Homo-oligomer: A and B are copies of this chain.
Amino acid sequence: MSILFSPIKDSQTLSQKIERKIEQAIRDKQLPAGSKLPTEHELCKMFAVSRTALREALRRLSARGLVDIKKGSGMYVSDYNIKDAISSLLLYYDLKFDNNLILHINQARLMFEPEITKLAAINRSKKSLAEIRKSIDDLISCHPDHIQAEADLINLFHAKITESSGNSFVIISMEPIFSLIPRMRNFIYANIEGERDVRVKFHEKIYSALEAKDGDAAHAAMKELIEHTNKTYIEKLQKYNKE
């Protein structure tokens, strides 16, 4: 019976209707990024609505990152970037964050990162290679007590490789992991005596494959590294459960 009859009355509020019209103009490229929107006063006249409904519509658009509102200046179509793109994903993961998600992320990394590293070996530029090199050098020279900095440099290593793939979909798909890792790093990257040297060896091996543009070697080396990372995570988890 749900198809036979549908609501006669539109359940959208006025502000949602306004939101939709402005959003559609943005999606249709009628309002390019950076362009200034008409003032509140002008938009109220255009839409024949009160300032309240219009402002509420604009708050909705602003909250979703579509427009920037500047007091005293005006409202501008924002340049929607990757950070905006993953904002709702990050919120979702924050709300659903648990150990199961970490396990799934670890599993996905094992599936995806060797493939990504293989592509990166082919697509990497001199510049991206230098950035990867720097992350390794910084890790080597990082003070042993700077555990957080160490984990961040490991994270950076992985992120830079993903960037080197040059595939925008891949980069965006992996970005939530790298954004979440500051939160997980004490779990994922084991703080164990001698671990750093093991890790540096893995990084060097991957770097060599990238440098040599050897996709298969890169794939194999990254697979090994992720397996190692996941293994130490499982061990750490079991140790924690035993206590």
Chain A contact residues, CB within 8 Å of chain B: 13, 15, 19, 26-27, 52, 55-56, 59-66, 71, 80, 82, 84-89, 91-96, 100-101, 104-105, 107-108, 111-112, 115-116, 118-119, 167-170, 172-173, 177
Contact = CB atoms under 8 A, between A and B. Distances in A.
List the 7 closest A-B pairs by CB distance, nearest first: A85-B92, A60-B63, A111-B115, A88-B88, A63-B63, A59-B59, A104-B169
A118 B86 CA distance: 27
Given A108-B167, A115-B115, 19 more contacts: A26-B95, A27-B94, A55-B56, A60-B62, A61-B63, A64-B91, A80-B91, A82-B92, A84-B92, A85-B88, A87-B88, A101-B168, A104-B167, A107-B170, A108-B173, A111-B115, A111-B118, A111-B170, A173-B173
Contacts of A88: 64-65, 84-89
A73 to B, nearest CB: 13
Given A60-B59, A173-B173, A85 B80 contact: no
Contacts of A119: 107, 111
A34 B52 CA distance: 28
Contacts of A64: 63-64, 88, 91
Interface of A is mostly: helix
29 contacts: A13-B71, A15-B59, A26-B95, A27-B94, A55-B56, A56-B56, A60-B63, A61-B63, A64-B64, A64-B88, A64-B91, A80-B91, A80-B92, A80-B95, A85-B91, A85-B93, A86-B88, A87-B88, A88-B88, A89-B172, A92-B172, A104-B168, A104-B169, A107-B169, A108-B167, A111-B116, A111-B118, A115-B115, A169-B177
Nearest to A15: B59
Nearest to A118: B111
A89 B94 contact: no
